[in-house]
Structure 1
Amino acid sequence: MTEEHISRGLQAQFERHRIVFWYDAKQELREAFTEVALPDVTKIEIQNDEFSIKHRVLRQEPEQKFLIYKHGPEPEKLTDNWLLDVQLAHGVFQATQTQMLLADLGLDLGFADTLAAHEEFFRSKKRTEDLKAILKPEDDRLALRFKMLLICTGSDQDIEGVIGALFEERATQQDEIQRLLKRCNLEEFLWDQLERRYGYQTDKPSVSDFALELFKSCFLMALGGTAKLNSEAQVLFRRWKNDKNNSETFESLSKEFEEVLDIKSALADIDFRKIIDVDHFEQIDRFILRSMANELAGQHLKRADVENWVRTRRKHHWYDTYRHVYEALFYASEFLNEISQVSLGMDGFDDAISRYSKTWFKIDQLYRKFIHHLRKSNQPTLLGDIAEVIENRYENDYLLRLNDAWQTHVDRTTTWRSGVVPSQKDFYSRFVRQLRDKDTKAVVVISDAMRYEVGEELLRRIREQDRFDAQIEPMLSSLPSYTQLGMASLLPHAQLAISDAEKAVVSINGNPTAGLENRKKVLASNPQGDRTVAWQAVDFMELRSSDAKEIIRDHDVIYIYHNVIDAVGHKSDEKVFEAAETVLEELVSLVRKLTSANASHIFVTADHGFIYQNRDLQESDYLNAKPEGAEIAFEDRRFILGRGLVEHSSFKKFTASDLGLDGDIEVLIPKSINRLRRKGSGAKYVHGGASLQEVVIPVLRINKGRQNDTAQVDVTILTGATKTITTGQLSVRLYQEEAITEKVHPRKLRLGLYALDGTLLSDTHELMFDMTSSNPRDREQKAQILLSKTADAYNNKEVVLRLDEQHAGTSHFKEYRSVRYTIKRSFSNDFDF
């Protein structure tokens, strides 16, 4: 026993007593008595002077603290102890290890056997100090052992923390905690706790066996079967699994146990709909995805069901692993629903453009989203059948049929112009000039090959931004729909011509337009004298905020050129839809940077659109006919430039005048979606022709307001006639008060049942409220709350069903909504599910 132990033990005694007696029965601690120094304590040694000591401590110094030491044992006869009355009124210090610990921990002699049973625990000063810090005066022997268990496992104040620490150690193939529990004689206590709380009984208990049984029992309960463990184990499992700190441990154990339990075979005869809300094993997600993919390929599933199932899976553990598969199935379902309802009838050239920009573009958009997630999923086998269905429906039932019908109206045109939408070559005068006439600055962002459907998605993403508003309208691109002509058409001009047919070079008023510097010169030559400038988007984004503000301040017209889709499409066409996703992200960032630099009127448009078919092209996709004419100057997959070109049934011929161009150049456009053969790759992604996907391009007008205009959706807890909980579970209905829109954003909440003192009494549920349906019934969610054993202590008391919201960027939750209930349970039928 060290001097420190003695000092601590004495200090603990003096916290409760003014006078402390110390009998050195073995006459071996005089030196310790001499050395020990306690603040404000006077030391006295008994040397046959008991009466003088009594007079001093009781009469002369009644407020002073005294340590009264005797070098020898306490008198055997009580009548021989002349200080007995003083001793009984105060305290006695006994310098044994157990007595020292009792004193140090503030425990009475009734705990001596408990401390002695766990002697190894107290060999560590840190463990002892940690225990002392959390002990409470009302703690009994059970609470003492439980807190020792907490300290050994480094856990918080609950059994779930103990189990979580043991599971983490098991997952990493370690056993340090288990060996410590064995040395500290706490193993039996642990198994008793697991039996009492969760019904875990076995002749040879172990952490591995309990973990396996927990996974097995909770899986069986989720299927409605009978399990060895009780429903309290289900609460434990859900809370442990849903804690993000346990993610790695959960995954490790789950993957191991799904092999041991042969979960793949167990799922074979189950309807996936019955386990749509279960996520104990990764095989469940695989099974659900296989089942959904097979039934969707057979077109047996309803769109609304697929949407609900995917939304349900989004809140579960393995969703991120298979996110792109789920999203691919979601968009496949949306695509099949949209294409099953589409009517491709059109009453003329203008009507076709109008219908495409209002409804038909959605099919291109859904196809793009499906293909993007298909590629990102890296699951060509799993999604092969549904991909084949989507490809066939897109190409044969939509893309080809639509453009064959459209071609009949293109064939009748003598002038490339619409009566309902502006032409691209009128962009500057119609949009930019109108602003400048009001002395308003204009920023024009041109994203190469951003076709209409991509622009429409950009519109929705812009509107989602706080204080941003945007509108979209279609515009008819110049023909041929290629970059040089499209970019030149968007500049101010009086004369527009393909001046070098062999290189497809375009000039304005006789001046070249290729490249940033030439476009700057064209802009600067505007007759109104506007201060103009042009930038590449990638360079503008690297500017400091102050420099960007100067550019907006010092110029009237700013053009910014953005090139992602076209750059990727011509180099690696299979990545074009991935490039479209990049475009959406980059343009939102660019618009935000522009508005931060005080740009208030922004246009976003494109030079042309494109056609993309994901699977390899067939022979029928190429023209067998070859262009003929006096001069074939330039040939691309979707257009030919020349002079004296011969008309042919496979081509539509235009003169420069027909296309609103100067000069004598002539153009042949392959009809519908056909391509011309050319050496090299890149036939999947094409533009230059007259398909609706190539020539209908977006013009977005973007403004930023002064007031906040976005908010998260509100959620209500729907309560029934009674607010009494009579069983071990509570069914909860939650209502999302309005549909999600660009300005009404989703809300993520955590649902749980709590005591008024804040104690969690149930499992918790992470719920996402992101329904877009206008039907109120579609915006209801149901959750099943399982009460834990802790709730027993709150029977006949009020409790709170709470929706909590996490504060952005923190781990802190605050209450969003709550409803009070009263627990009134009959324990004869406790946990009756």
Structure 2
Amino acid sequence: MDKLKASLLKLFDTYRVIFWYDETREMTEQVDNLDLLGIEKVTLNNNEFSVKYRLHCQQPTTPFLLYFPYAQPPHEQNWLLDVQLAGYVFRTDLQAQFMQELGLDDHYHEFVSTHIEFFKNSRRREKLARLGIPPGETQAGLRNRMLAVVFGQDSLSLSEMLLVYAHAVATGTEDRLGTELNRYGLADTFWQQVAQRFGYTSATPAIYEFILALFETNSPFLSTSLRADARVLINRWRVNMRYQESFRQLSRRVSVDLNLPNLLPRTTLDALLDDDLFEGVEKRIIAELAQAVATELATIDRVEAIQKQRENKYWYKDYRHFYDVLLNAVWIRSLVAAWANEPFDSLTEGPQRYTERLYRVDSHYRRLLYAYRKTEQHEVLDEVMTQINAVYTNQWLLPLSSQWQRVIDQAPEWTFSPLHTQRYFFRYHAEPQLSKGRTFVIISDGLRYEWGRELADRMQSENRYTTDQSYLVTGLPSYTQLGMAALLPQTQLTIQPGTDSVLADGLPTQGTDNRSGVLAQQKGVAIKAEDFLALNANKEGRDWVKPYAIIYIYHNSIDRIGDTLATEQQVMDESELVLDTLQEIIRKVANMNGVHIWVTADHGFLYQQQPVDDTDFLAAPVSGQVWKQARRYVLGQALTGGEGFHRFEGRQIGLAGDVNVLLPKGGQRLRLSGSGSRYVHGGASLQEVVVPLLKFTKKKANTLQLVDIDVIRSSERITTNIVAISFWQQEAVNDRIQPRQIRASFTAEDGTPLSDLFTYRFDSIETSERLRESKHRFQLSQKAGSLYNNQTIQLRLEEPIETTSKWKVYKTISYLLTIAFTNDFDNF
């Protein structure tokens, strides 16, 4: 009774007169017992006229409950029809209860009966109520809201419902949705809307059949069967984080069902470059490109252009490393052909030219090997890798080392400018800074010059950091103990007789504690990188550094991996982690108010991926007192060797005491059981002796800005459903102007999406303005023309919010949409 009373009182908030027909007279007692304060309760008994007079004349403002203990009469026999139409007919059947719960008018009674299975469930009714049913909602509008409930959506977007349905196909739960659509009498409505919006028709419509048509329509080399909105839908599907995995699964399934493996070989490479649907297309492009690189038909420009065209496609992220292998391969081949046989005229010319440009070959080789291992050494790249490994070893390392060795053989001493000599580092670089603020020196064991260049580029691209780049030339032999000692404060370096240990002004230098002892004379200390990183920068770290004027931080992962036979082939894999760690150390130093931050290395290294040929092992005998023999050097006294060695006296290489050094010429190695031969150091090759010298400073003011993007507009009106937009990168990217990633689309002023999405990274270094232009043809949805014609719409440019998956508005450009209503949408 309380629920019945509450329902009636709620209705009286809206209606003055409520009609209650009770053909079976089952509710007579309940009506009699109803206590409705302030409401006249009247039972009709052939007294319609008097009641009507009372309603209109005697009590024109009083609320009435009119109870009819009989069936509702036909309209032509209903004396109170005008009152009834203005009031509300209260029902007590199941349909009526649902209608009353949802606030639906009486004319929905038949509608609710038709879809009674939907309304029987209280949770569905609650979800429908939460969506909101506006006054005067049409039956078609209510069906849309019911569809949203079935698909679990908070919006009435048909596209969103289709994505939910597609996701159900991917997870094998589509039968449940199909059953519910049929059971609730909504299937016809749903597929009629799909037909109207996308042009999909079928005698027996099915979601997977629609998905097949969707992929076919959006592929540049398959047939077209759907309307233009299909392009907008699949574009939104690809970028929707919630449904990306279902896109991946169904793309793979569709490619099989559309017989893609047999179609692709008959399709040209250029015809595939715009496809953004199929993993098989990405594989085919890579295979074609790999063949072109292997046959030396691919140019740098061609490979770069294809990679740039593909980098915003869906499957690219899975195959980025394949493209990196191929691009680095063509760069290596091109640079080696240009530079490998250039002679050197002097000892100082070697490091100068290496740091100006020659290092780039080694940099590309490192990146190639890193990317290749990330592809899990995929067989499609085997031929390219075999060729490039041979090019690097035989056409680069061999001739370069031969040209360099000729200069070494003619030089009386191993001597360079003091500013570029490793053993003068403290005297000429670190010591002058001590009076100007606390100084940090980060020494990464084995950090080759080209790795240092990449570290500099990375830090230069971080806001508020500036970088001064230079280089040092190590002493000989180029091994850890000598390099580490040379970087300490000292005036004389001596090899401890009978060992390979090094004394700095008579003090031992091996290990962190001994180096701290040397540094203590300069109010300094040494610490391992892992221990430094464990310090809390804000409190513990700042307190720890206070007593010191200079702190040496020792990082060791390159040499640790490379010097071990079991792991030497993983040394290139370590490059990303090494650079990440060094960046972390630099940032932490800056947070500890480090004023001067130096990064350098004890030595570099030689590396080749392919096994070392037997002819590259030096078989010449060594005589004399041998203190230490490694792959690339022999230390001792009174040493002599064959023609394959170059012999240095200690004084020739800046070492005190009676010591001799034998270095294998070129890139040759000595045989040594139990150690690796692909990663080596200790010799005089440019890759071993030239190390980076980087100085980082953190500024208070911003040092970077992102490149500005503009739109070249020929008109402020849009008159067709396909809109060609030219984007212009205003400046060339450089050290201070960084790339900007943009996601662009057309939207209504209320934010409603009206087109596909275009994502692009603007990173051109071209100085020509014309070469910094990028174009995209946007497809407007049917909604744009039908709901927003003759209105202002926006081209919205968004950029990613750093460290999140969110985007923020970069800029908007307004257009007036004035599309003539033709069949343009059917011609996609």
Deviations 1:136-158 (A, max 9, x none): 33543322222221211113321
Say if 1:635 and 1:185 are closer, same or farther in 2 by CA, change over 3 A.
same
Matched, 1:271 2:272: no
Match of 1:472 among 469, 472, 479: 469
Q: Name the SS for the 1:541 alignment partner.
A: helix
What is aligned with 1:820?
A: 815
What is aligned with 2:524?
A: 532
What is aligned with 1:342?
A: 339
**More deviation, 241-250/29-38:** 29-38
Match of 1:588 among 583, 588, 603: 583
What is aligned with 1:394?
A: 392
Deviation at 1:648, TM superposition (A): 3.0
Say if 1:86 and 1:441 are closer, same or farther in 2 by CA, change over 3 A.
closer
C-alpha contact 2:746 2:755 (8 A) present in aligned 1 = yes
C-alpha contact 1:717 1:819 (8 A) present in aligned 2 = no
Deviations 1:89-137 (A, max 9, x none): 5333233344444555455555444333222111112222333433333
Say if 1:681 and 1:508 are closer, same or farther in 2 by CA, change over 3 A.
closer
What is aligned with 2:170?
A: 171
Q: Name the SS for the 2:618 alignment partner.
A: coil
Match of 1:576 among 555, 571, 596: 571
What is aligned with 2:255?
A: 258
Deviation at 1:305, TM superposition (A): 2.6
Match of 2:128 among 103, 106, 131: 131
Say if 1:26 and 1:326 are closer, same or farther in 2 by CA, change over 3 A.
same
Deviation at 1:394, TM superposition (A): 1.6
Count of residues in correspondence between the two structures? 818
- Cα distance in structure 2, aligned partners of 1:178 and 1:86: 44
- Aligned 1:318-329 pairs, distance under 5 A: 318-329=315-326
What is aligned with 1:203?
A: 203
Matched, 1:725 2:723: no
**More deviation, 42-51/351-360:** 42-51
- Cα distance in structure 1, aligned partners of 2:299 and 2:412: 45
- Cα distance in structure 2, aligned partners of 1:41 and 1:743: 78
Matched, 1:229 2:222: no
Match of 2:653 among 650, 659, 671: 659
What is aligned with 2:25?
A: 27
What is aligned with 1:162?
A: 161
What is aligned with 1:180?
A: 180
C-alpha contact 2:148 2:156 (8 A) present in aligned 1 = yes
- Cα distance in structure 1, aligned partners of 2:506 and 2:17: 110
- Cα distance in structure 1, aligned partners of 2:311 and 2:86: 68
- Aligned 1:793-812 pairs, distance under 5 A: 793=786, 794-808=788-802, 809=804, 811=806
C-alpha contact 2:743 2:758 (8 A) present in aligned 1 = yes
Deviations 1:518-537 (A, max 9, x none): 1111111x3xxx32111101
- Cα distance in structure 1, aligned partners of 2:413 and 2:366: 32
Q: Name the SS for the 1:13 alignment partner.
A: helix
Deviations 1:721-740 (A, max 9, x none): x3443333111111111222
**More deviation, 776-785/809-818:** 809-818
Tell me which amino acid in the other structure corresponds to 1:509.
D
C-alpha contact 2:606 2:687 (8 A) present in aligned 1 = yes
- Cα distance in structure 2, aligned partners of 1:357 and 1:450: 14
Say if 1:34 and 1:815 are closer, same or farther in 2 by CA, change over 3 A.
farther
- Aligned 1:511-590 pairs, distance under 5 A: 511-524=507-520, 526=521, 530-545=522-537, 546-571=539-564, 572-590=567-585
- Cα distance in structure 1, aligned partners of 2:709 and 2:179: 49
- Cα distance in structure 2, aligned partners of 1:606 and 1:75: 100
**If the length of structure 1 is used for normalisation, what is the TM-score?**
0.92
Q: Name the SS for the 1:658 alignment partner.
A: helix
What is aligned with 2:427?
A: 429
Say if 1:80 and 1:238 are closer, same or farther in 2 by CA, change over 3 A.
closer
Say if 1:249 and 1:88 are closer, same or farther in 2 by CA, change over 3 A.
closer
Deviation at 1:15, TM superposition (A): 4.0
Q: Name the SS for the 1:707 alignment partner.
A: coil
Deviation at 1:41, TM superposition (A): 5.9
Return 5+ residue gaps in structure 1 as ranges.
none
- Aligned 1:481-520 pairs, distance under 5 A: 481-501=478-498, 503-520=499-516
- Aligned 1:406-445 pairs, distance under 5 A: 406-419=404-417, 421-436=419-434, 438-445=435-442
C-alpha contact 2:798 2:807 (8 A) present in aligned 1 = no
Say if 1:159 and 1:20 are closer, same or farther in 2 by CA, change over 3 A.
same
What is aligned with 1:698?
A: 692
Say if 1:275 and 1:88 are closer, same or farther in 2 by CA, change over 3 A.
closer
Say if 1:19 and 1:403 are closer, same or farther in 2 by CA, change over 3 A.
same
Deviation at 1:781, TM superposition (A): 1.4
- Cα distance in structure 2, aligned partners of 1:80 and 1:116: 24
Match of 1:745 among 732, 738, 743: 738
C-alpha contact 2:418 2:424 (8 A) present in aligned 1 = no
- Cα distance in structure 1, aligned partners of 2:78 and 2:127: 42
- Aligned 1:237-316 pairs, distance under 5 A: 237-316=234-313
- Cα distance in structure 2, aligned partners of 1:561 and 1:35: 91
Say if 1:666 and 1:71 are closer, same or farther in 2 by CA, change over 3 A.
same
**More deviation, 804-813/506-515:** 804-813
Q: Name the SS for the 2:603 alignment partner.
A: coil
Deviation at 1:316, TM superposition (A): 1.9
What is aligned with 1:775?
A: 768
What is aligned with 1:462?
A: 459
**More deviation, 342-351/146-155:** 342-351
**If the length of structure 2 is used for normalisation, what is the TM-score?**
0.93
Say if 1:290 and 1:31 are closer, same or farther in 2 by CA, change over 3 A.
farther
Deviation at 1:800, TM superposition (A): 2.0
C-alpha contact 1:350 1:420 (8 A) present in aligned 2 = no
What is aligned with 1:645?
A: 639
What percentage of aligned pairs have identical amino acids? 32
- Cα distance in structure 2, aligned partners of 1:11 and 1:386: 82
Say if 1:509 and 1:77 are closer, same or farther in 2 by CA, change over 3 A.
closer
Q: Name the SS for the 2:348 alignment partner.
A: helix
Deviation at 1:694, TM superposition (A): 0.5
What is aligned with 1:191?
A: 191
- Cα distance in structure 2, aligned partners of 1:7 and 1:575: 79
C-alpha contact 1:622 1:675 (8 A) present in aligned 2 = yes
C-alpha contact 2:785 2:819 (8 A) present in aligned 1 = no
What is aligned with 1:212?
A: 212
